[in-house]
Structure 1
Amino acid sequence: MSDQEPVPGFGVAVVREDGKWRCDPMDSSALGELDAAVGELRKIRSTGAVFGLLAIDDEFFLLLRPGPGGVSLLLSDAAAALDYDIAADALEALRVDPPEDEDEVWPEGSLDILADLGLPAPELQVIVDEIDLYPDEQLSMIAQRIGFDAEFSKVLDAVLK
């Protein structure tokens, strides 16, 4: 834990088990450090899919999905690593150097992170490319496309109050 100010935004842990979706808010510490976010997701016991959706400071989002072989990540804007520790952590985990110009916007990581759940890489690319949308709007599009938008909206309503 750091003594820094909390990072604005929210995190949602998403679980699919026995054909049903469940969404739970993540602790705010998950927004500041990648290890905290991954640790929180790894504590969830499920035989189904478990992944996290993080929206950081109305600037970018991060998808993370722990698995036996490590963590799959998708950072919606690589330039966010210039200003946010969690984005820098994500690029470090992906072994990618941060961009030199913060005006360049491109995703970094695994666009097929949710392909097995019904969101193929090309469709996720379209959502990521919607740079005029806020991260929560992009994450809502992901939730709608995969089929857990009702559960996601309930958590979003609770955390954004």
Structure 2
Amino acid sequence: MTTTELDFALAAYREDGVWTVTPLPLRGEPDLSSVVSALRRYPGDAGVIGMISVDEDFFIVLRVVGGRARLLLSDVTAATEWPLAKQVIDELDIPLAEDDDEQVPAGDLAIVADLGMSAMDLGALIDDVDLYPEEMLEEIADALGFGTEFHEAIEAVG
């Protein structure tokens, strides 16, 4: 996978109650450690949220608070084709069944629960097979209160 296969990669953080969303600078073939390192550069009252959409196929949400990274992969089957998704599965220490075709999320569904979107709501959103990853991330951004900033950042990378 190269950055050309990324639909977008964004960092969102809140300082003094104000959200900032900015394109996440990634080069070459992104890997999980470089994404986490890139996110650690941003400040934030409640850490920084990374939102990555890949090839209109799946998304990854990361939340870096202090030295800890929390992870959510929208579709576990993406790990059979995409190295970045496989790295998330490996970090979560989840076994990958090669013949598993069930599209279920993996990781922390409560990743943004304290910011305004419950694990149940996030799980229901991911279960909506009619939505593209960008649309799901847009709904997450809206629920957390940075929908406008999300749209502006998407337009900046588009």
Gaps of 5+ in 1: none
Q: TM-score by structure 2 length?
A: 0.92
Taking the TM superposition and a 5 Å limit, the aligned residue runs for 1:115-134 are: 115-134=113-132
Q: TM-score by structure 1 length?
A: 0.90
Confirm or deny: 8 A CA contact 1:31 1:37 kept in the other structure.
no
1:35 alignment counterpart? 33
Q: How many residues align?
A: 157
Q: Cα gap change, 1:78/1:129 in structure 2, threshold over 3 Å: closer, same or farther?
A: same
Gaps of 5+ in 2: none
1:139 alignment counterpart? 137
1:112 alignment counterpart? 110
Taking the TM superposition and a 5 Å limit, the aligned residue runs for 1:34-73 are: 34-68=32-66, 70-73=68-71
C-alpha distance in 2, partners of 1:88/1:10?
18
Q: CA RMSD in A?
A: 1.7
Confirm or deny: 8 A CA contact 2:115 2:144 kept in the other structure.
yes
Match of 2:93, as an amino acid?
R
Percent identity over paired residues: 37
1:25 alignment counterpart? 23
Q: Cα gap change, 1:5/1:71 in structure 2, threshold over 3 Å: closer, same or farther?
A: closer
1:155 alignment counterpart? 153
Confirm or deny: 8 A CA contact 2:2 2:30 kept in the other structure.
no
- Which whole-Å deviations, capped at 9, do the CAs of 1:96-155 have from their partners, x for residues lacking one? 012323531000000000001011100001111112211101000101111100000000
Match of 1:43, as an amino acid?
R
Match of 2:73, as an amino acid?
L
C-alpha distance in 1, partners of 2:143/2:45?
22
Q: Cα gap change, 1:30/1:69 in structure 2, threshold over 3 Å: closer, same or farther?
A: farther
Match of 1:115, as an amino acid?
A
